[in-house]
Chain A
Amino acid sequence: MTSPELRLDHKIIYFIVDEGARVLDLGCGEGDLLYLLARDKHVVAQGIEMNDKAVQECVKKGLSVFHDNIMNGLSEYPDQSFDFVILNQSMEEVTNVDTVIHEALRIGNKVIVGFPNFAYIKSRWMMFFKGRAPVTKSLPHSWFDTPNVRFLSILDFKEFCDEKGIRILSAHYLGEKAEVKVLPNLRALNAVFTLTKGES
C-alpha cells in the first residue's frame, strides 16, 4: 500500500503540537492528522466530526471521535481541558466563528487555526481579470457546491485577532509545495496560526 504524501498543513501542525499533549481536533475529517499525532507524538487525541463516513474512518484508525457538529461540541468541556484545540480547514464551514474561537480558547491552552487564503494571487486574478468566483487548490469548490460559508484573507484574520485581543503565537504561510516567507497575503494558498488568549 502506498501512503499518500503528507499534506503540508498537517506537517506544520504536527511540528507545532507538543509530545504527549491533550489534543481536540474540531472537524477532524477522517482523522489523518490526529492519527499521526496519536501514534507518533503520543497525544491524547479526541476528534469531533459531523460526517458519518469520516467518523467511521476515524474509528478504524483507533481514534476517539464524537459524531457532532463543531458548534454543539464545545460548551460541555471544562476550561483548559486541552493543550491544543485544532480548527484546521473547518473554520470556513462554521457559522459562528467568533463563538467557536472564543470557546476553543477557553477549553484549550493553544488554538491552531488553518484556513485557505482568499487573497491568494490566483483567486485575485480570477476575480479581477476573469470576473469569476475563485476556484483554486485551497478553495476547490464551485460557488454552488462549496461547504464554505465564509471567505477570508490572512490580513482579515490578523485584524480579527487584533480586535478580539487574541495573541498570535506563530503564523505559517503555505504555498503549493513549501512555506511562503515573502508577501504571504498575496502568495499563500493556506495559513496556519497558533493562538492563545491575550493578556487582559
Chain B
Amino acid sequence: MSKEKKDHIKDSVGVVETKFYTFAGPGQELTLESGETLGPITLAYETYGKLNKDRSNAALVCHALSGDAHAAGVHEGQDDPGWWDDMIGPGKAFDTNKYFVICSNVIAGCKGSTGPSSINPATGRPYAMDFPFITISDMVNAQRHLIDFLGIKKLLCVAGGSMGGMQVLQWVASYPEMVRAAIPIATTKKHSPQQIAFNETARQAIMSDPAWREGNYYEYGQPERGLAVARMIGHITFMSDQSMEEKFSRRLKKERLNFNFDAEFEVEGYLRYRGANFVKRFDANSYLYLTRALDYFDLSGGKLIPAGKNIDTRFLIISFKSDWLYPSVQSQDMVRLLKRRSMDATYCELKSTYGHDAFLVEVEEQTTLIKHFLDKVHNGYMVADYHDIS
C-alpha cells in the first residue's frame, strides 16, 4: 500500500454505509410548497462520528446539485471517497472526533432518496414527470424528519456549498431555533436570472433529446446526449477563466489540428469525458427537478429572517474570488442583510482561482475557518491565552 493511501486511511472516517429512513406513509404524506403531497419518502443518509450524550454535537452537511449522502469515507470494497472527504474526518474541519456529522441525499435526487426515478406506489412505475415539483424548502422539511428521527433537537451547525448552501439558508428561514450555526458557502439567497438561464439551457438540452420521451425513458435508457450537454454547461460554469487556462490552455488532444469536429482541444475532451461519465451516475429527470428547485429559490425580502424576529444563529459565510457562478457579491448581499439585523456573523472571501469548484477543492483555508468557527460555537472562547491582562 502506498504511503499516500495509508495517510488517507489514517485521517479518514473509514468504511461507511448508506442508511435509509422512510417516513410520510399513507395518511402522513409531506405537503410540499407547491401544495401537492408526496409520500412515502425515503431519505438516504450517512453519519460519521458519535452523537454525544446531550445531543449537542450534530453537524448537518448539505450536498450540492449532483452530490449525494456519501460525504466522507469509502464504501465497502470501493475506492471512491465521499464528496467532502477532505473536510470531514478525524482532525478535519468537521472533526468526527468531536462532532456527529450527518449528510442526506435530497428529495428529487437519484442517490437513494425518493425522486422521479423512484417507483410511484400509485402506478408501480417510476414517477417520471408525475413527480411533484420540489423546492429547497421541501428538501429541508424532509431533512427535518430525519433529524427528528435521529433524536436531535438542535443542530450545532448546518453547512454546505452551492445548492447545499441554499439548504443551509433555508434551514435558518424554516427552523431557526434548531440551528446554532449556519455555514453557507459559495451560494446565494436568491437565484439570479443568469443562474436561472444556465439551468434553463441545461434543461432544454435534456428535453430536446428525443431519448428523453417526455420523461418516460426508464425502460429505454437515459437521454444521454442531452444530459451530457447539460453537464458540460455546468462544468463550464464551475471553473474560472484562469483555472481553465491553467488546466487546458489551448493544448491539443493530438499533435496537430485535424480539421474535424472531434475533440481537438483538451478542454473539449475534458467536457466530453465529464458529460459521458455523468450520464452513468445521474438521472436526467432528477437534473430537471433539482435545477428547477434552485431556480425557485428566493429568500429575499425578509424571508430569511422575518421582520421583528430575533434569532441567535451564528453565521460563517464563505465565498471565492474567482467564482462567477455564485459570485462574492451574492454573499456580500447576505452579509448586508445580516448587518441590518445585527446578527453575529463572519464573512470571508477566499482568494482561489478554481471558480465555483473551489468549495470542494480549497481545503486548507476552509478548514481553518470552519474548524475554529465550530470550536467557538461549541465551546466559547477557549483558545490558548493571547496577551493576558493583569
Inter-subunit contact A3/B387 (CB<8 Å): yes
Inter-subunit contact B389/A40 (CB<8 Å): yes
Q: A59-B368, A77-B339 are in contact. Are A64 and B388 (CB under 8 A)?
A: no
Question: B145 to chain A: which residues have CB within 8 Å?
Answer: none
Inter-subunit contact A61/B346 (CB<8 Å): no
Q: Which residue of A lies closest to B369 (CB)?
A: A59
Contact of A76 among B314, B336, B346, B368 (CB under 8 A): B336
Is the C-beta of A94 less than 8 angstroms from some C-beta in chain B? no
| Alpha-carbon distance A46/B316, docked complex (angstroms) | 13
List which A56-73 residues lie within 8 A (CB) of chain B: 56, 58-68
Inter-subunit contact B346/A59 (CB<8 Å): yes
Question: A55 to chain B: which residues have CB within 8 Å?
Answer: 348
Can you name 21 A-B pairs with beta carbons within 8 Å? Answer: A1-B384, A3-B385, A3-B386, A3-B388, A6-B389, A11-B389, A35-B386, A36-B387, A44-B344, A46-B344, A59-B372, A60-B368, A62-B373, A62-B375, A64-B345, A64-B346, A65-B346, A65-B348, A66-B339, A76-B336, A77-B342
| Alpha-carbon distance A5/B373, docked complex (angstroms) | 26
Question: A14 to chain B: which residues have CB within 8 Å?
Answer: 389
Inter-subunit contact B335/A66 (CB<8 Å): yes
Is the C-beta of A10 less than 8 angstroms from some C-beta in chain B? yes
What 1/0 mask marks residues of chain B from 297 to 310 whose CB sits below 8 Å from any chain A CB? 00000000000000
| Alpha-carbon distance A58/B348, docked complex (angstroms) | 11
Give the shortest distance, in Å, between A79 (CB) and chain B (any CB).
Answer: 11
Question: A6 to chain B: which residues have CB within 8 Å?
Answer: 387-389
Inter-subunit contact A62/B383 (CB<8 Å): yes
Give the shortest distance, in Å, between B345 (CB) and chain A (any CB).
Answer: 6
Question: A52 to chain B: which residues have CB within 8 Å?
Answer: 348-351
Give the shortest distance, in Å, between A136 (CB) and chain B (any CB).
Answer: 23
Is the C-beta of A39 less than 8 angstroms from some C-beta in chain B? yes
Question: A32 to chain B: which residues have CB within 8 Å?
Answer: 386-387
Inter-subunit contact B347/A66 (CB<8 Å): yes
Inter-subunit contact B368/A62 (CB<8 Å): no
Question: B347 to chain A: which residues have CB within 8 Å?
Answer: 65-68
Is the C-beta of A81 less than 8 angstroms from some C-beta in chain B? yes
Give the shortest distance, in Å, between B144 (CB) and chain A (any CB).
Answer: 27
Question: B261 to chain A: which residues have CB within 8 Å?
Answer: none
Give the shortest distance, in Å, between B4 (CB) and chain A (any CB).
Answer: 27
Is the C-beta of A131 less than 8 angstroms from some C-beta in chain B? no
Question: A64 to chain B: which residues have CB within 8 Å?
Answer: 314, 344-346
Is the C-beta of A4 less than 8 angstroms from some C-beta in chain B? yes
Total number of A residues with any Cβ neighbor in B under 8 Å: 35
Is the C-beta of B53 less than 8 angstroms from some C-beta in chain A? no
List which A18-73 residues lie within 8 A (CB) of chain B: 32, 35-36, 38-40, 44, 46, 52, 55-56, 58-68
Is the C-beta of A78 less than 8 angstroms from some C-beta in chain B? yes
Inter-subunit contact A62/B351 (CB<8 Å): no
Q: A66-B335, A67-B347, A77-B339 are in contact. Are A36 and B389 (CB under 8 A)?
A: yes
What 1/0 mask marks residues of chain B from 222 to 244 whose CB sits below 8 Å from any chain A CB? 00000000000000000000000
List which A123-174 residues lie within 8 A (CB) of chain B: none
Q: A66-B345, A76-B336 are in contact. Are A61 and B386 (CB under 8 A)?
A: yes
Give the shortest distance, in Å, between B191 (CB) and chain A (any CB).
Answer: 23
| Alpha-carbon distance A36/B386, docked complex (angstroms) | 8
Give the shortest distance, in Å, between B189 (CB) and chain A (any CB).
Answer: 15
Question: B376 to chain A: which residues have CB within 8 Å?
Answer: 62
Give the shortest distance, in Å, between A37 (CB) and chain B (any CB).
Answer: 10
Contact of B381 among A3, A38, A56 (CB under 8 A): A38
| Alpha-carbon distance A68/B335, docked complex (angstroms) | 10
Q: A77-B340, A78-B340 are in contact. Are A56 and B365 (CB under 8 A)?
A: yes
Give the shortest distance, in Å, between A57 (CB) and chain B (any CB).
Answer: 9
Question: B389 to chain A: which residues have CB within 8 Å?
Answer: 6, 11, 14, 36, 40
Question: A38 to chain B: which residues have CB within 8 Å?
Answer: 381
Question: B368 to chain A: which residues have CB within 8 Å?
Answer: 56, 59-60
Inter-subunit contact A5/B387 (CB<8 Å): yes
Inter-subunit contact A76/B339 (CB<8 Å): yes
Give the shortest distance, in Å, between A17 (CB) and chain B (any CB).
Answer: 12
Q: A14-B389, A59-B348 are in contact. Are A81 and B383 (CB under 8 A)?
A: no
Give the shortest distance, in Å, between A103 (CB) and chain B (any CB).
Answer: 12
| Alpha-carbon distance A46/B335, docked complex (angstroms) | 13
With A3-B385, A35-B386 already in contact, 8 other A-B pairs whose C-beta atoms are closer than 8 Å: A4-B387, A32-B387, A59-B372, A59-B373, A62-B383, A64-B346, A67-B349, A76-B339
